[in-house]
Amino acid sequence: MAKVKPFKAVRATRDKVALVSSKSYEIYETDHLNAKLDFNPYTFLHVINPGYKYHQDKVTGEQRFKLVHNRYLEFKEDGYFTQDTKAAYYLYKKITPNETFCGIIAATSVADYHDDIIKKHEGTLHERELLFEDYLKNTGFNAEPVLLTYPDNDVISDIVKKYQAQRAEYEFTTTDKDLHFLWVINDDEDVVKITEAFRNIDTLYIADGHHRSTSSCMLAENLAKNNPSHDGTEAYNFFMSYLLPESQLCIYEFNRFIRDLNGLSSEEFLMELDTIFKIENKGLELYKPKEKHQFTMYLDGNFYALTLRKSAYEFSDALSKLDAQILYQTVLKPILGIEDIRNSKKIIYSQNKSGGLELKTKVDEGSFKVSFGMLPTNIDELKSIVDGGALMPPKTTYIEPKLRSAITIYEF
């Protein structure tokens, strides 16, 4: 039973939201970020990059977080942000040139995370957890929701359709040609229906935002310990999430690029692979896997089709059937000597939305010796692995939608 509730969001005024909201600041390269800061006084990037006001690029740590809080207060004082007076759910729709996403922004429970009602599919780095917890503690807000997914639900779907037929509170287009809508759901009857519908859902799955959710839970524990009046209703007992039905989630694969063959020649490497895979040389033909347990490999100017020899590999659980895990267990670790796939400098990852051509171009440029591609993981695989108590290998899934900052802001 998932505990989901409405909240009083801090939001940009309707006339400024297109200028205020931004992509996650980590996405921007330096020149692009500076251009945004130079020419848009309303962008939320000014809040996240507070040192820009003082022409200081190197403000870090707790000092930076306190300045973020100060810039945030300035945006509120200047009237760029206002807070809703009534708790609401927020229906957010994003239309890209290729996809449409429509889900509900809500407050989700820290207790559900601890009780495994909200489940994660990948591990986190403790250093990043601590860093973001410190950020939340000093700023007092979160402007980027965690992306959660849930089984399609008729009750929620009917309410979503009802509001999409009405005029949106926000409707704006961004320069990447994405169209954004936001509806405020604060009708008492609809709020109750949404709350009860989620209460009847057994499990929510984190699709994106693992560090944010973990850090929010860490902060809640610490604040609760230091609050003698703690009763579980405080805002810090929840974190902001964007809840999207499973049918709308888009999952892409990550390609793997390896810098060397661990001392092997190309011929020796192919001979090692031959014991595990059926190998077909496709030459310059861009090969794409057609089913699970097939892989694309690019080596020495040729594409190869690799098909797992089932006699050479044992399926023991859901994780063992995952293509990313198969590649790690049969090639990356035993042959190429890559033990720590999260931190090894011998491997990099790149999300595959370009149709696989990058597998060739990055290797041909000379920085890498071999590359691998595979089919994307599907939601059923993700859920079966998580429900079995396992975590997926790093860089297994690239999941969309990627959400903008400051569409709604959650204070605690």
Q: What CATH number is given to the structural domain containing 324?
A: 3.30.1760
Cα separation, 147 vs 210, whole angstroms: 9
Other Cβ atoms closer than 10 A to 89: 28
> What's the structural domain count of the chain?
2
The answer on 329 and 262 residing in a single domain is yes
The answer on 344 and 319 residing in a single domain is yes
Cα separation, 204 vs 151, whole angstroms: 8
Omega of the bond prior to 145 within 30 degrees of 0, cis?
Answer: no
Low-confidence stretches of the chain (pLDDT < 50) are none
Q: Tell me the pLDDT tens digit for each residue of 195-252.
A: 999 999 999 999 999 999 999 999 999 999 999 999 999 999 999 999 999 999 999 9
The answer on 246 and 258 residing in a single domain is no
For β-strands 238-245 and 100-109, DSSP reports them as antiparallel
Q: How long, in residues, is the chain?
A: 412
The answer on 278 and 246 residing in a single domain is no
Q: Phi first, then psi: give them for residue 374, nearest 5 degrees.
A: -155, 175
Q: Is the pTM of this model over 0.85?
A: yes
DSSP state of 237: G
Cα separation, 248 vs 356, whole angstroms: 23
The answer on 301 and 206 residing in a single domain is no
The answer on 17 and 31 residing in a single domain is yes
3-state percent breakdown (helix, strand, coil) of the chain, nearest 5: 35, 25, 40
The answer on 218 and 94 residing in a single domain is yes
The answer on 232 and 303 residing in a single domain is no
207 contacts 392 by C-beta, under 8 angstroms: no
22 contacts 406 by C-beta, under 8 angstroms: yes
Q: 165 vs 88, 97, 158, 186, 302, CA distance in Å?
A: 18, 21, 11, 16, 52
The residue with tokens 């957010």 is 92
Cα separation, 110 vs 232, whole angstroms: 10
The answer on 50 and 162 residing in a single domain is yes
Q: Which domain holds residue 185?
A: 4-251+400-411
The pLDDT of residue 29: 87
Q: 365 vs 303, 370, 381, CA distance in Å?
A: 15, 11, 34
The answer on 301 and 231 residing in a single domain is no
Q: Is 164 left (phi over 0), alpha (psi -120 to 50) or beta?
A: alpha
The answer on 168 and 279 residing in a single domain is no
Smallest Cα–Cα separation from 42: which of 85, 3, 81, 8? 81
Q: 328 vs 154, 182, 243, 335, CA distance in Å?
A: 40, 42, 32, 10
The answer on 297 and 163 residing in a single domain is no
The pLDDT of residue 354: 67
Which structure tokens are listed for 328? 């790690």
The pLDDT of residue 265: 98
